[in-house]
């Protein structure tokens, strides 16, 4: 038996049930499956990635032409840290705003550096670029380090250090000085004693009686010392610098000193002290300049020689508030004299400089 023919709906061709409606339904279905903007963006990035990969492969076999300047500039703009109107905020590392500047950004990191240089009158070579994470906490310091931040909402996208280094609280430069040397940032005087004198290299010390005495001042907390020294002879426990309080019996307490060439000692009382010494037991070449940085903060002591950390002790202690004497080239008890030259001596209060800052100090020394 033959199968019955399918029933054909009767009616005018333009009725809702006509075949013409099947064509409309198909068109509607095609419109629904068109790619979304997200899918189009994904396809664009795929083509871009494929083009970059082809260019890279062609370059490896020397079949790629050198990109022209306009292409390089286009790629740099594509890689810009941000676009549009943003707030450039200059702050100190304690997080307190120093300056705010609204600007329209459409350029490279180099463009941002140029704008910051013009804004702050800081030379480009003195700008250091630092990328920070969203959850990065800026540690408090003496509020003298400026950092450059581009904020999108509350997120720091880019940060720059102005001059890369905090301004020291005290600095004495003996190179080419005549007579006693005044602190560059306060009224404290470094007084040349027992025939100590300055040359173009720094203050010259004879290892027998010459030394430098700095006016005492009261301070506490984290601290960083920087000194550039050249030894002319070896003497056990020769003191580069010493800061502390002298007891009535002649002994020293609340002491911070670099001695025995590369040993950093912090003594909080007559019986309690911590020291950091290099692994090579403090071997130093005579007649060569050495850049030394010592940091002390709650929980750690560090010693750096020529930009590299050579010793670290985690059990540091808090430096109490005291009026301390300060000597260069000898200890507080008129002993441990240094023979050689000291070019300069600098101190930062309230901060233990980070290793990257110590490297920058050394590179500029």
Q: Evaluate if pTM is beyond 0.85.
A: no
Tokens of 199: 């040359």
Place of tokens 């990328």: 131
State the pLDDT confidence band at 23, using cuts at 50, 70 and 90: very low
More confident residue, 1 or 99: 99
Reported as a pLDDT band with limits 50, 70 and 90, residue 163 is low
Sign of the CA dihedral running 335, 338, 343, 347: negative
Share of the chain above pLDDT 70, in %: 63
∠ CA(104), CA(109), CA(115), 5° rounding?
A: 55
* pLDDT digits 0-9 by tens, 42-101: 888 888 888 888 888 888 787 778 878 787 777 766 655 555 666 666 665 555 566 677
Mean pLDDT score of the chain = 75
What average pLDDT does the segment 282-291 reach?
A: 82
Which strands sit side by side in the sheet containing 189-193, from one edge to the other? Answer: 181-182, 189-193, 211-219, 322-328, 241-246, 252-259, 263-267, 273-277
The average pLDDT across 19-29 equals 46
Between 89 and 207, the more confident residue is 207
**335-342: average pLDDT:** 94
What band does 12 get if pLDDT is binned at 50, 70 and 90?
very low
Averaged pLDDT, 107-120: 69
- According to the per-residue pLDDT averaged within each range, which of 15-24, 132-141, 188-197, 272-281 is highest? 188-197
Give me 96's structure tokens. Answer: 């307190």
- The answer for residues whose C-beta is within 8 angstroms of residue 303's C-beta and 6 or more apart is 258, 262, 263, 264, 276, 277, 278, 292, 293, 294, 309, 310, 311, 312
Residue 146 has pLDDT above 60, yes or no: no
């Amino acid at each position: 038996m033959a199968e019955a023919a399918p029933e054909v709906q009767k009616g005018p061709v333009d009725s809702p049930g006509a075949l013409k409606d099947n064509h409309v339904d198909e068109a509607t279905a095609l419109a629904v499956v068109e790619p979304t903007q997200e899918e189009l963006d994904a396809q664009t990035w795929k083509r871009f990635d494929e083009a970059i990969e082809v260019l890279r492969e062609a370059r490896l076999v020397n079949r790629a032409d050198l990109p022209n300047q306009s292409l390089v500039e286009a790629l740099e703009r594509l890689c810009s840290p941000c676009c549009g109107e943003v707030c450039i905020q200059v702050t100190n590392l304690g997080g307190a705003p120093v300056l705010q500047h609204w600007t329209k950004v459409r350029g490279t990191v180099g463009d941002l550096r140029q704008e910051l240089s013009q804004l702050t009158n800081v030379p480009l070579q003195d700008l250091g670029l630092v990328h920070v994470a969203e959850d990065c906490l800026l540690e408090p310091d003496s509020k003298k380090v400026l950092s450059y931040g581009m904020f999108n909402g509350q997120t720091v996208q880019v940060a720059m250090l102005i001059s890369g280094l905090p301004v020291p609280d005290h600095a004495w430069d003996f190179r080419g000085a005549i007579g006693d040397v005044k602190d560059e940032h306060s009224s404290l005087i470094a007084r040349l004693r027992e025939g100590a004198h300055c040359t173009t290299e720094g203050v010259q010390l004879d290892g027998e009686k010459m030394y430098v005495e700095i006016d005492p001042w009261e301070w506490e907390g984290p601290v960083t010392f920087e000194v550039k020294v050249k030894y002319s002879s070896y003497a056990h426990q020769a003191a580069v610098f010493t800061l502390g309080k002298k007891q009535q019996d002649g002994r020293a307490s609340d002491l911070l000193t670099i001695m025995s060439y590369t040993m950093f000692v912090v003594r909080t009382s007559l019986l309690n002290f911590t020291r950091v010494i290099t692994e090579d037991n403090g071997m130093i070449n005579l007649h060569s300049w050495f850049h030394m940085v010592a940091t002390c903060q709650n929980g750690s002591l560090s010693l750096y020689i020529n930009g590299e950390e050579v010793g670290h002790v985690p059990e540091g202690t808090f430096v109490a508030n005291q009026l301390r004497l300060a000597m260069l080239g000898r200890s507080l008890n008129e002993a441990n004299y240094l023979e050689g030259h000291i070019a300069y001596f600098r101190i930062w209060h309230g901060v233990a400089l980070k290793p990257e800052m110590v490297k920058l100090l050394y590179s500029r020394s």
